[in-house]
Chain A
Amino acid sequence: MRVHLIWIVITLFLIPTTAFAIKWERGGIDIMFSSEVSYQDITGNEEKSTLQEGWLYTENLILDLKQELAEKAKFQGYGHIRSSNDLQQQIAGRDWMFVEGYVRLADNLDTPTRYEIRAGDYAESYTPYTFNTSLLGTKAFYKFGEWAKVSTFWGKNRDEKLDAYARYSAGGRVELYYKEYLTIGGTFVYTDVARDSLEAGSTVGDQYNQVFGADLHLKLWQDRIHLEAEYARSIYNADRRDDTLMDQGDNAIVVRGDISPVTNLKISAEFERVEPWFNSVLGAASADLQRSKAQVDYTPWDFLNTMLMHEYSFNKLSDHSLEQYRTHTHLTSFSSTITPFLKREDVWNSLTVALQVDHTNSYTDDYPRTTDQDDLTANCTVSQTFPQWNYSLGYTHARNWNRVDKTSEFYSHAPTASLGITYPWLALMWAWTFNASYEYKEYTLSGLIDRTYRGDGGLALSYEKTRSTLGLTVAMEYYDNASGSPLGTADNMSRTYGIAFDQVLKETEAFTANLTLRASYKEYDEDAPDQDYNEGVYYCGLTVKF
């Protein structure tokens, strides 16, 4: 640990001499290095704290190389390495880790429009039913004029050792365009777990899945009508080592559209059906669910926005479903934003009142029912912004009716308030924030009451001339857990105090160095013996970028 402290001190002294830019005519390399050292001191019941006692270090090194090879050929190489003994910063307890790395070639590095080839860590988003996640591998796309785009990828899970299996994925997508009105897409993606990579602790079998998808996006009537549709079919096998498991095929479909016949009105509708055996390739689709949704957004006047939505959904769409009974859910939502003095030229024009009411009703088809409940939530928030301060006042009421388990029925009241003040004084910029909230929750059958009090406040002081920022925070939370109940957990209170100092040591176009010093102290008190603990964190961090 002493080595790291010495390293920070040495770096601080080296800053004036290392202030140079690694740039050349058609490229350059950005180097960012940060070194952080902290001491964490935990007293009392140490097992209740997530922090580690003792000295911790974290070092990050980021290299970002950019080179223009030709007018339409730009290269980037990026690497991020981290060394740490902090469990929060480590992956699976490793002291060293390659956080991210890739190389890529594109016509434009900020927003590639014609082509891109990338290898290393990447993310790709085709459609929700087919593929939208990150992998380790390679991806590429090429756009033919303004009428077609072809994309492809290959990759595997990033951490084979951690997952205890290797899963390979590959696929491609073709998009055809007709001006800006119509886009038609076709996608094929598959994923396959390598059988020889499976270990005794592997939590998946020899899994195989492939998805075919077709989608359409249509804009009509000067952008007043939008129509989107997607169909996908998957063929999935959970474990090909098991002869009794057959390939399972099912479909997913979504159709959504909206129309704005007038500028202040939008009517939307959506239908989605994802059959039980449908499995997207690491996608986000919700399996075994059919839902229909209608929504109206209406702004009758500039100062009033309203939204009304209703959605009905159910699961167990077919015999393929694993569920024994169907669950129906109705959601109704209303929201409105009112700025009553919008046209005034004074501070009242920012006064905003926001209302939100949500009602959910869900029940199962079985008898006696395993689910049968209603939830109602109503929220009202008033906020206003002045030249040097702003405030927000809110109130939320929630009510639950549970006809299966009466003991969990409750209602709650939760007022909130927050205040922000920013003003210059004594050549400093002062920024104060205060938040307070209270929640009262009563279980109707037992009469048990949960109360929660929360409050926090902060001050950020910045001095622009020396680029210094000083932050002070105080937070306090008190939970009165089911008072009077022998089943309730013990009441508890936490208090947190913090101070942080950020100093820009040097900032030029080619070089920046920031120093951060931070200390925080948390006290946790519980109304039960031997449960209290305290956490002290003392932190020093240096970030150098050139």
Chain B
Amino acid sequence: MGVNKGLYRSGIGIIFLLSFLISAWGAAADEPSITSARIGAKELMRQSEVTVIKEDLTRDREVLIVGQAQGGGPQVEKVEVSLDNGQTWKEAAGRERWQYQFAPLPNYTYYLTLRVTNADGVVSDPKRFGTTRLTYLPITLTELIQQQADELARAYMSKNLERYMGLISRDYQSMPPGWHRLRRAIENDFRSLNNITLRFTVNQVFNLKGTIMADIHWRLTYAGLLEPKEGYVEIHFDPADHLKIILQRKDLYFGSVIIGHNGSVLVTSVFGPPAFEFTVTDLDKIGATFVSVRVRFVSGGVVQFDGNVTLTETPPRSGTFTGSRTFSAFPALSTITATYIDEITSDWRRNLRRTDTFP
């Protein structure tokens, strides 16, 4: 019976797969179509929204759209461009390889769509290309990145989690790794911080293939912080996805890096078995429940233990974390070192390491 059910499910799966394949070949029937369309390095195919800036214009201050088309058998007769979602059409120069240029109005949104006519007179459906909202902003790339950074700061200051995460790419890499982990870190910030003021200043912008990398200075305050924090964060923006952020590193303005008080770590021996107690005091971590310290136990010049020990906040919401670890033996000339990282930057650049060694 079980086998029959399995076969039945497999059969349904195969039918679905075959139907996809059949519809694929049907959809791929030879029709005239646009095969590529770009403005400089900016892809237009399957893009719902593209922003054009000063650097994208030609020397004549025009937008130049360059692309390729195929006639689906017969040759391409003409390629037409519409900037008003198909209400009016203008013919592009060229055929299989075509181009079209126009002088854009600043801050105006064009609804770009394209169609191809082949030698048999068959005209492609503009909906196959879709509609791309094309907006020309008369600003430089640095100014555009500054706008995006300002938007990020506004979302963070107003503790608007959805607005903030809307500026983050789903392919976000680090730090922390992944969109969902970042969301949790930001949510924790919003839970614990009030009256946040955050300002970004964009210093350097590098336009690389597939990413825009920016070095940005930030300055941050919030309620209870003794003096403003500041640092330099490197942010990578995705030019193909509304300049959403795909990576943040160096001095992070969010998450566990936010500190106002200097933490401390203390190592003490415990009578009885050779055990050691570790105590971290860090008022910034009030309510964190757990922190960890890195412990190295060196005996006779050989590392016997090197790992993290988790400390528990005792009593709760006190900012004091304690924990202990037992060692099988503690001969003479042995040392035990506990290191607590009070600030984390992704490249370990500005970490404050609090270290205590016993004896």
Q: Which residues of A contact B (CB under 8 A)?
A: 48-50, 87-89, 91, 99-100, 110-111, 121-125, 128, 132-134, 163, 203-204, 243-244, 261-265, 282, 284-286, 289, 302, 311, 313, 321-325, 329, 331, 333, 342, 358, 360, 370, 375, 377, 379, 394, 396, 404-405, 408, 414, 416, 437, 452, 454, 462, 477, 479, 481, 489, 492, 509, 524, 526
Set of chain B residues within 8 Å of A375, measured between Cβ atoms: 180, 184
Chain B residues near A322: list those with CB within 8 A: 292, 294, 306-308
Q: Answer yes or no: B242 CB below 8 A from chain A CBs.
A: no
Question: By the criterion CB–CB under 8 Å, are A204 and B298 in contact?
Answer: no
B51 within 8 Å of A (CB atoms): no
Complex contact A286–B174 (CB within 8 A): yes
Report whether B195 and A524 are in contact in the complex, using a CB–CB cutoff of 8 Å.
Answer: yes
Interface of B is mostly: mixed
- A163 to B180, alpha carbons, bound, how many Å? 31
Q: A residues within 8 A CB of B161?
A: 414
Determine the chain A residues whose CB is within 8 A of the CB of B348 once the complex forms.
203-204
Bound complex: CA A481 to CA B193 (Å): 11
Q: Give bound CA distance, A486 to B127, whole Å.
A: 59
Q: What chain A residues lie within 8 Å of B173 (beta carbons)?
A: 128, 284, 286
B201 CB–A CB distance under 8 Å = yes
B21 contacts chain A at the CB level, 8 A cutoff: yes
Q: Within 8 Å of chain A (Cβ to Cβ): is B353?
A: yes
A472 to B234, CA, bound (A): 32
Residues of B with C-beta under 8 A to A48: 195, 221, 223
Task: Tell me, rounded to whole Å, the shortest Cβ–Cβ distance linking B285 to chain A.
Answer: 14
Q: Which 4 A-B pairs have the closest CB atoms?
A: A262-B24, A286-B177, A123-B206, A50-B197
Mark B residues whose CB is within 8 Å of A: 17, 20-21, 23-24, 27-28, 40-41, 61, 107, 127, 158-163, 170, 173-174, 176-178, 180-181, 183-184, 191, 194-195, 197, 199, 201, 203-204, 206, 208-211, 213, 215, 217, 219-221, 223, 228, 230, 232, 234, 236, 247, 249, 289-290, 292, 294, 296, 298, 301-303, 306-310, 347-353
Say whether B211 contacts A125, CB under 8 Å.
yes
CB of B213 within 8 A of CB of A134, answer yes
Q: Say yes or no: B213 contacts A123, CB within 8 Å.
A: yes
Residues of B within 8 A of A437 (CB): 160, 163
* B21 & A262 in contact (Cβ 8 Å cutoff): yes
Given contacts A99-B203, A204-B348, A358-B180, 5 further A-B contacts (CB under 8 A): A89-B201, A91-B217, A261-B20, A329-B180, A333-B170
Residue from B159, B194, B308 in contact with A324 in the complex, judged by beta carbons closer than 8 Å: B308
Q: How far is the CA of A408 from the CA of B234 in the complex (A)?
A: 32
Of A89, A99, A322, A323, chain B has the most CB atoms within 10 Å of the CB of A322
Asked if residues B219 and A88 are in contact (CB atoms below 8 Å), the reply is yes
Check A203 against B20 for contact (C-beta < 8 Å). no
> In the assembled complex, how far is the CB of residue B154 from the closest CB belonging to chain A, in whole angstroms?
9
Q: Identify which of A244, A286, A379, A405 contacts B289 (C-beta below 8 A).
A: A405
Complexed CA–CA distance, A462 and B107 (Å): 10
A-B contact pairs, 29 of them (CB 8 A): A50-B228, A87-B230, A88-B199, A88-B201, A91-B217, A111-B40, A124-B208, A125-B209, A132-B211, A203-B353, A204-B348, A261-B24, A262-B24, A263-B28, A284-B247, A284-B249, A286-B178, A313-B178, A322-B292, A323-B307, A333-B170, A370-B290, A379-B162, A408-B191, A437-B160, A454-B160, A479-B194, A489-B194, A492-B195
Give the docked Cα–Cα distance between A492 and B194 (Å): 9
- The residue of chain A having its C-beta at the shortest distance from the C-beta of B56 within the complex is A110
Residues on the B chain within 8 Å of A132, using CB: 211, 213, 236
Please indicate the chain A residues that have their CB under 8 angstroms from the CB of B194 in the complex.
479, 481, 489, 492
Which of B27, B163, B303 is the one whose CB lies under 8 Å from A264? Answer: B27
Knowing A133-B234, A204-B348, A322-B294, the reply to whether A289 touches B177 (Cβ < 8 A) is yes
Interface centre among A50, A121, A322, A358 (most CB of B within 10 A): A50
Instruction: Tell me the complex Cα distance, A372–B178, Å.
Output: 19
Contact A454 B309 (CB under 8 A): no
Measured between beta carbons, the chain B residues less than 8 angstroms from A311 are 178
Inter-chain contacts of A329 with B (CB < 8 A): 180-181
- Tell whether, in the assembled complex, residue A302 and residue B353 are in contact, meaning their CB atoms are under 8 Å apart: no
User: Chain B residues near A302 (CB, 8 Å)?
Assistant: 127
Whether A526 pairs with B221 at a CB distance below 8 angstroms is no
Decide if A454 touches B223 in the complex (CB within 8 Å): no
**Least CB distance, B261 to chain A, in whole angstroms:** 16
CB proximity of A468 to chain B, nearest CB, Å: 13
Q: Would A244 and B298 be within 8 Å (CB), given that A262-B27, A324-B307, A414-B162 are in contact? A: yes
Q: What's the Cα separation between A379 and B170 when bound, in Å?
A: 15
Chain B residues closer than 8 Å to A89, beta-carbon distance: 201, 217
Which residues from chain A contact B236 at a C-beta distance below 8 Å? 132
Contact B204 A99 (CB under 8 A): yes
